[in-house]
Structure 1
């Protein structure tokens, strides 16, 4: 008789747990993105230049009024010739892959004593620039 009571209690316990744990709420799924997302930050496209849509129609005065004194009209767009890597110092003057544009000049920030690691960062007189650090040893 005791065995029957234990079996009865076990069946009641199992059936009550099955009933209480079953859920009738709808399953919500997130829609998948239209294009695959990348887990690498380098794959993300840079934000477009907000002034890229400004057409200067080969008139440098428009660029001067919109962006300042270093701006000029290149390929019908206002460009800052002192900082733009693709128009460095002059229209369509592209810097090499590892170079940067500083004050309208293509420089290698890792080894240039006048622009060591960043534009305008000069090393001390007699010093040298290695890997973008002044007097690195």
Structure 2
């Protein structure tokens, strides 16, 4: 009886090991030169902080940390390089705002509440 339990435990351990090992490996973060033309992470690199660069669609952005970013909407570079918005804030027009209570950006960027209404929990005139 004891021998059967040991064999069963070994069989279960083997089955779990095979199931875990069968998962496909994570993709490499390094892309070959052949694939860089189709890799969205490969595009948008720049060399000098503060220089202007163009991202697809013709939108103008700036170089921050060797990446082209839009300072008007980037949560980690809001209005300036390395100016990170708090967890409860969003980057609207280069300014960190709390979209749950800001009547100029209520619930989302550029959604202005009507005059006399307040923004509460991301909705104009809640309650």
TM-score under structure 1 length normalisation: 0.60
- In structure 2, the gaps of 5 or more residues are 1-18, 26-38
In structure 2, do the counterparts of structure 1 residues 132 and 52 end up closer, same or farther at CA, with 3 Å as the change threshold?
farther
Residue 82 in 1 paired to residue 72 in 2? yes
CA contact (8 A) 1:56 1:73 kept: yes
> Please, what TM-score do these two structures have when normalized by structure 2?
0.64
The match for 2:90 among 100, 120, 125 is 100
Question: After the TM superposition, which residues 1-137 of structure 1 pair with which residues of structure 2 at under 5 Å, given as runs?
Answer: 32-34=22-24, 50-51=40-41, 53-58=43-48, 60-61=51-52, 63-64=53-54, 67-69=58-60, 71-137=61-127
- For residues 24 and 41 of structure 2, the distance between their equivalents in structure 1, rounded to whole angstroms, comes to 29
Which structure features the higher share of strand residues? Answer: 2
2: distance between equivalents of 1:68 and 1:110?
28
Root-mean-square deviation over aligned CA pairs: 2.6
Q: When the two structures are aligned, how many residues end up with a matched partner?
A: 94
Structure 2 Cα separation of the partners of residues 132 and 81 of structure 1: 23
- Deviation string, structure 1 residues 14-58 (Cα, Å, up to 9, x no partner): xxxxxxxxxxxxxxxx883157xxxxxxxxxxxxx9256532111
- Contact 1:51 1:78 survives alignment (8 Å): no
